[in-house]
Structure 1
Amino acid sequence: MGNSDAAAVLTTSDLDGAMRAVRTLLDVADTADGEVDFEAVVRSPDVLGRVGQVLPGLVWWSMAGKADGSSEAGDDPADCLPIRVFDWCRPLESAEPFIAALGPDPAAVRWDLAGWPEAPEAGLERVSQKYAYLTLSVNSRDLYQDDLSPDHTVHVHVRNAVHDTARIRWLADRVGGRFTGRVESAPL
């Protein structure tokens, strides 16, 4: 187990614009056998209902902790709001319906990719799946929903942001973004 560096390459208040950037990066990436993972804070019954329809069988626990309610204990999530939701290894096509279900609630959607491509014109070799991820933070600027915001941030993952700055900038250029130096460590 290791970490990747998640570099912010685009922050926008336009969720549709953030999704266009994600789609562009997915078109660049090798998505063979790709999966998507979800982490969210659900605060309202309406959002809970919509998210539950998109992703049945959610793993969740109360924001106060598992002792105060969890899917593991068989509790009703509606009685424990706000809750933290986790779901892993879903098909790529489940990402956009999940994002649409969120409303104002914060989340991180992470696409696990097969690789970032080579870019000979930029001196970049292909990067394998281990360090090829893409995360969209919705209604939050960070990966963990701690920095709530009306903005949405696209993060590209690399092995080491200092070493892989050229790749970060190359990917940012694909979406009209730029690397500002904002990086978070992300457990793999």
Structure 2
Amino acid sequence: MSNSAAAAVLTTAELAEAIRAVRALLDIADVGQGEVDFEAVIRSRDVLAQVRHVLPDLEWWASAGKEYGSSEAGDNPADCLPIRVFDWGRPLDLAEPFIAALGSDAGAVRWDLDAWPAVPEAGLEAISQKYAYLTLTVNSRDLYQNDPSQDHTIHVHARDRDGDQISPVHWLAGQVGGQFTGWVESAYL
């Protein structure tokens, strides 16, 4: 398992603005074999029902710990709220329905991309699939839903915090009217 540095490039109170920015970044990326991963903290039965409509075979466990309930054990998630969702390797077209299903609960969608392309005019080399990720945190500013908020943050991943590896972050942020804020989190991939 490796890590990347997830750099915050845009925070907005408007979910529609965040989704437009994600779409613009996805238009830049190579997404041919892309997939999405989902994380969330689901607190209400209504949100759970909406999320299960999108992901009927949802992978989850009780926030208090797996011993208090999990999909692995065949427990009913509605009896174990709040629950943490960790669902991986889903088709790209499930991202926006999942985001809509979250309502006011906190979550994150990570797009696992094939690559960020080279941008010769900006002096940027292509970034391979190993570090080509984009995350939208919904109702949370951090990747792991530990900092709930009423806004949404886009994170562009890079290899590390040093040197040229963060350069693509600046360019990508500029493509959506954002800017690298200096806020970087370690992302476990």
TM-score (norm 2): 0.98
CA distance in 1 between counterparts of 2:125 and 2:60 reads: 39
Are positions 1:167 and 2:168 aligned together? yes
SS where residue 37 of structure 2 aligns?
strand
The answer to whether 1:8 aligns with 2:8 is yes
In structure 1, the gaps of 5 or more residues are none
Q: In structure 2, how many angstroms separate the alpha carbons of the residues matched to 1:158 and 1:30?
A: 15
Instruction: Kindly state the Cα deviation for residue 162 of structure 1 after the two structures are TM-superposed.
Output: 2.3
Question: May I ask how many residue pairs the two structures share in their alignment?
Answer: 188
Superposition RMSD on alpha carbons, in Å?
Answer: 0.7
2:35 alignment partner in structure 1: 35
SS of equivalent to 2:64: coil
Q: How big is the shift at 1:160? A: 1.4
Contact 1:122 1:166 in 2 (8 A): no
- Which runs of no fewer than 5 residues in structure 2 stay unpaired? none
The Cα offsets for residues 112-133 of structure 1, whole Å up to 9 and x where unpaired, read as 0000011111110111100000
- Structure 1 equivalent of residue 85 of structure 2: 85
- Tell me the TM-score normalised to structure 1 length: 0.98
Q: Distance in 2 between matches of 1:35 and 1:115?
A: 12
1:118-169 Cα distance to aligned partner (Å, 9 max, x none):
1111110111100000000000000000010001000000101322232110
Is the counterpart of residue 62 in structure 1 residue 49 in structure 2? no
Query: SS at 2:86's partner residue?
Result: strand
Tell me what 1:185 maps to. Answer: 186
Does the Cα contact within 8 Å between 1:161 and 1:168 map onto a contact in 2?
A: no
In 1, distance between residues paired with 2:58 and 2:49? Answer: 11
Contact 1:106 1:148 in 2 (8 A): yes
In 2, distance between residues paired with 1:167 and 1:184? Answer: 16
2:115 matched residue in structure 1:
115
Q: Distance in 1 between matches of 2:79 and 2:131?
A: 38
SS of the residue corresponding to residue 116 of structure 1 reads coil
Partner residue of 1:176? 177
Instruction: Supply the distance in 2 between the matched residues of 1:86 and 1:58 (Cα, whole angstroms).
Output: 8
Residue 107 of structure 2 aligns with an amino acid whose one-letter code is A
Q: Distance in 2 between matches of 1:51 and 1:154?
A: 21
Q: Residue deviations 1:86-120, cap 9 Å, x none?
A: 11111101000000000000001000000001111
CA distance in 2, matches of 1:19, 1:34: 17
Report the Cα distance in structure 1 between the residues aligned to 2:151 and 2:157, rounded to whole angstroms: 19
